[in-house]
Structure 1
Amino acid sequence: MKISKTTKWIAGSVLGVIALLFLTLIVHILLVTPKNYDNNNLQLSRIDFKEPIDSAKAKTINSQLRSVDGIKNTHINIKDGILVYSYDVNKVNADQAFEALIQKGNYKATRFVVTDEMKATGCPIMDRNSFSYRFSNGVQKIFN
């Protein structure tokens, strides 16, 4: 059976694109994964607002929280009323940051605290038994 040049060209192109996408995935995993978890002093915390948040109020909340020493980044999901922020554990803790924000704006909000049951299940983003976790963990082991 004879295979035409067009079919060979298409098959080669598809394989080339797949190889390029796979290489891009490997590079992406290497670039976004922290190199050393032990010396990382950043922590994430969450605040749930019990009142409606619009874009103007979100900007005010962001600027008020960023003015606290040790707060690195903030992000508000306006639709759900959730604020996620990172902070340096050597300068401030989650309770201090929350209290500072509430004092500055007197907001109706609660600090999200992870329960022991949630801690036992591990990372909520990635299941340790999933292909995604095993693949990215394998790539890190190869290059570290």
Structure 2
Amino acid sequence: MISWLVGSQAPPWSYLEDLFQDYRNVAVYVDNKNIVQTVKVSDIDEFYTPFSVLIHAKYFKYYSTYYIKLEKMVAFQTMSEKVANHLIAKKGWRGIKYYYGDEFLGAWILYDCTRCREKQRAHLEISKFAVSEDEIIEAHLKIYNS
């Protein structure tokens, strides 16, 4: 029913909000040409289960999170171990770090927040700008504290 999105240009965020209004947890992943490659939906709120809408970090090289809606939390990906370690160490923050041997692949950074669509969107926007790791950390903390 939503498989028609795969292979198409990513629609506006507002369109996806309307389309997925009846789903608790949804993620839309795009490639570097902004073409939808994966759509995941789930009614299970836990982020660490196989049924989560979060993809494994090995795919971060190929796909970025275009849209994500989590009922009970905010989540965003990073490929910076420094960013992951700094934010996960903060009170109230959690994360899933992925390694291949000793090589850091990426991480999901999460915190509890019920129906925080604007914060979620703001976190995803940060990754679109080429800034230093310290600026990225500061920007995420500013959104969290807003």
Bin for the TM-score computed over the shorter chain: under 0.3
Higher helix share: 1
Give the TM-score, by structure 2 length: 0.26
Higher strand share: 2
Instruction: From the CA coordinates, give the structure whose radius of gyration is larger.
Output: 1
